[in-house]
Each structure stands twice: as structure tokens, then as C-alpha cells.
Amino acid sequence: MTTVSGPAWRPKTAAGCWPAVVPRVGSASRSRLPARNSLPRRLTLTGKLQIQQLLDTGKRQSGRYMTAVAAPAESFRYALLVGKRLGSAAVRNRAKRMLRESIRLELDTWPPLHLGLFPKSNLLDASLAELRRDLRTILDRLDA
């Protein structure tokens, strides 16, 4: 009886490997999906300079669940300023989603301004209706 040494399977060659055989299909990233019920990206304040200018020149007002910094501008734009002291990344992302949704639902009623929002730690215990009410109250106080 003779034994044959070697692999029990046929090794793949470079030409037969998976990426070469199966063509890649375009990725299903968020940017290619239709945006429904979301805030347009163009409304976000981006860049360190823009945010620093808002913090330096803006008027601050605190509410129950957040602190807002607002400055008059030609169009509405916002920044969510969430620090690590709020919690883990999952907690911070949840806070940002809740703030973004409350901004989206109140967007039509606001004057043109640049708005920065700092969530407080009790924001995660609030309902969306409470957040919207708090945001409206803060903005009413800023207008006065």
C-alpha cells in the first residue's frame, strides 16, 4: 500500500481566487441611497473655523436637555457638539440621532441662524416630544 502525501484539496491559483472570479458590484453606501426624512448634509456646519466662530460670537442659552449657541446668519446651519464625557460611542451616536431628528422636525419654524447644540447627560432619558419642546423654548429665548 502506498501513501500519497500532499493536500487533500486542490490549491487555488491566483487566477481562480474569489475577487478575480466574481466582479465587484458598487457598494451600497449611504450616499447612494435615496435620502428620506433626513437633514441635508449641506445644513451641517463643518470645519473647525466655522464652529469656533460660532462659539466665539454666538449667544448661549441653556435648556433642560441641551445648551444651544446661536448666531445670526444668512441661512440655517447646525453643529452637534457631543463630548466624550457623555458616554461611549454608542451613547454619543444615540444622542446625535435624537438631536438631529428634533432639528429636522422643527426646521421649518426657525429663522436663518447658525446653531450649535451641546447635549446634557439627561438627554437620553427624554422623549422626542420633550426634546422638541426644549429646543423650541431655547430658540424662543434666543429670539427675545
pTM: 0.71
Task: Please give the tally of structural domains in the chain.
Answer: 1
Cα–Cα–Cα angle for 134, 126, 51, rounded to 5 degrees: 55
Give the per-residue pLDDT at 12: 61
Strands 77-80 and 59-62: unpaired
Contact (Cβ atoms closer than 8 angstroms) between residue 119 and residue 82: yes
Question: Is residue 5 a part of any domain in this protein?
Answer: no
Question: Is residue 129 a part of any domain in this protein?
Answer: yes
Give the per-residue pLDDT at 21: 52
User: For residue 63, how far is the Cα from the chain centroid?
Assistant: 21
- CATH number assigned to the domain comprising residue 68: 3.30.230.10
- How far is it, in rounded angstroms, from Cα 131 to Cα 89? 21
User: Residue 17: CB partners within 8 Å, gap ≥ 6?
Assistant: none
pLDDT means per 10 residues in the chain (144 residues)?
Answer: 64 55 51 61 88 93 94 92 93 93 87 92 93 92 79
Q: Which three cell numbers stand for residue 104?
A: 429636522
- Closest C-alpha among 63, 58, 78 to residue 120: 63
Contact (Cβ atoms closer than 8 angstroms) between residue 21 and residue 35: no
Question: Is residue 29 a part of any domain in this protein?
Answer: no
Domain, as residue range, for 105: 42-143
Question: Is residue 36 a part of any domain in this protein?
Answer: no
Is the torsion defined by CA of 76, 106, 53, 143 positive or negative?
positive
Question: Is residue 33 a part of any domain in this protein?
Answer: no
Give the per-residue pLDDT at 71: 93
User: Residue 75: CB partners within 8 Å, gap ≥ 6?
Assistant: 112
Give the per-residue pLDDT at 109: 81
